[in-house]
Each structure stands twice: as structure tokens, then as C-alpha cells.
Amino acid sequence: MISPDEKIKNAVMEIKKTIPPDVILQAAAKTRSLEEVEAVIQAGVVHIGYNYVQESLPIIQKVGKRAIFHMIGHLQRNKAKTVVANFDIIETVDSIQLAQDIDRHAKALNKIMPVLIEVNSGREDNKTGVLPEEVEDLAIKISELKSLRLEGLMTMGPRFGNPDDSRVYFSTTRKIFERLSEMDIPNVNLKWLSMGMSNSYQIAIEEGANIIRIGTKLFGER
Ligand SMILES: *Cc1c(COP(=O)(O)O)cnc(C)c1O
């Protein structure tokens, strides 16, 4: 019998074998227990992503500085304060109002909050994120806020059975990333392209992702 911890450890090793060493493997931990999160940390995963603030707080309290916590779910403005206080990076900034809230709370905590802009690369009505043509404008506005620093872009993209269908959404996001990088906006330090999940991370890496967010393939089905 192989224990749940060993299963997670094996999954981490399997994924690490298939990705370049400079790509960050982030564990998408929604619905997972503290034991599962501890197991993934024991297996060497440092970056942990959460979609929901409420679920994340007890885990963040127990894990503390042993991991780097990413907010990867839609962030409501009334939760910004808690997220700034507890997370290390916010991947889902999609409005200037939210960015201003983050800036204000970060300033109060004497902190500079790293953020990514979430891109609605599939132009889906029901999805969060900003449309591709709106990213540049939001990036420039964010660059004027002193207590947060824009460090990259994140996208989900539509879900497909065939992961190759995701490619065009990842490449769209990478092109925006490249254009923004060339603009050399002051106070913007673009480093991260967060794209790809369990079924699509290989395609995402081919299209330039250097953070992949993996749930199912690490922990099993939800
Ligand atoms: C759940 C989730 C993932 C991981 O999805 P899997 O298909 O389970 O790997 C990645 N990103 C976000 C934003 C998620 O909510």
C-alpha cells in the first residue's frame, strides 16, 4: 500500500521530471486538507495557490513562512485587506479599483505587494480578468501605485478536452507580456507568466509559462 503522502511525492517528482528547472510548480490547493498541503510542501513544492480567502487562512497560519502563498481566485474588494496581510502574491488583479485597494492596504502594512494582472484571454463573458486590449491601460495605471508592483500576467483560458486547443489563449497572453515588457514601464518588473493547469501545463510551458498551477495531477481528483 502506498500512503497518500507518497502518492503526492511521486506526483511532484513525475511533474518535475517533465518541466524545465526554471518553471515554478505551484500547487493549486483548493479543497485540499492541511495534511495534503503539508505533504506537497514536504515533497519540495514551495508555491501554494488558493482561490478562497476563508479556506486559506487556517492553512496559511499553520504553514507560515514555509511556503509562498498565491491568491489565484477572483478577489473581492472587501477581502483585499486580508489577502494583502496573508498572501505573498496576488495573481488576479483585474481592475484599477482593486489595485488601489491593494495599494492602500499594503501601504498601511509597510509592504510592497507583488501582483499579476489576470487576462481573460478567451474573452469569456462569465470569466474574470481583463480583456487582452485592456491590459496595457491597466498596467500603466497600476505602475503609478507605489505599494504594489506589477510582476506579470496570469490566465486561465477556456477549458478544453484537447489541451492543444488552449494554445492560442496562452500565446495571446504571452504576446501581451512581450509587448508590455518592451514598453519598459517604470515600477513594473515583468517576470511571471502564470498559465497552465493539470491538463494543459505542457502546452503552456511551450508558450512561455514560468508558473504552472496544478491541482488534480498533484493531489488527485477533487
Ligand atoms: C483549480 C485551479 C487550478 C488547477 O486546476 P487542475 O485542473 O486541478 O490542475 C489552476 N488555476 C486555478 C485558478 C484554479 O482554480
Q: List pLDDT tens digits, range 147-162.
A: 999 999 999 988 888 9
**189 and 151 in contact (C-beta within 8 Å)?**
yes
- Predicted pLDDT of residue 19: 97
- Whether the full predicted model's pTM is greater than 0.85, yes or no, is yes
Choose one of 50, 89, 205, 213 to mutate for the ligand 1 pocket test, by most ligand atoms within 8 angstroms of C-beta: 213
Query: Cα separation of 140 and 133, whole Å?
Result: 13
Q: Which amino acid is at 201?
A: Y
Q: How far is the CA of 212 from the centre of ligand 1 (A)?
A: 9
Spatial contact of 193 and 153, defined as CB atoms under 8 Å apart? yes
Ligand 1 is surrounded, with C-beta below 6 A, by 28, 30, 51, 72, 156, 197-198, 213-217
What gap in Å lies between CA 178 and CA 18, rounded to an integer?
25
Measure the CA–CA gap between 204 and 168, rounded to whole angstroms.
10
State the greatest distance between any 2 C-alpha atoms of the chain, in Å, as a whole number.
56
In the structure grid, which three cell numbers stand for residue 129, read together? Answer: 480578468
**What confidence tens digit (pLDDT) does each residue in 83-123 have?**
999 999 999 999 999 999 999 999 999 999 999 999 999 99
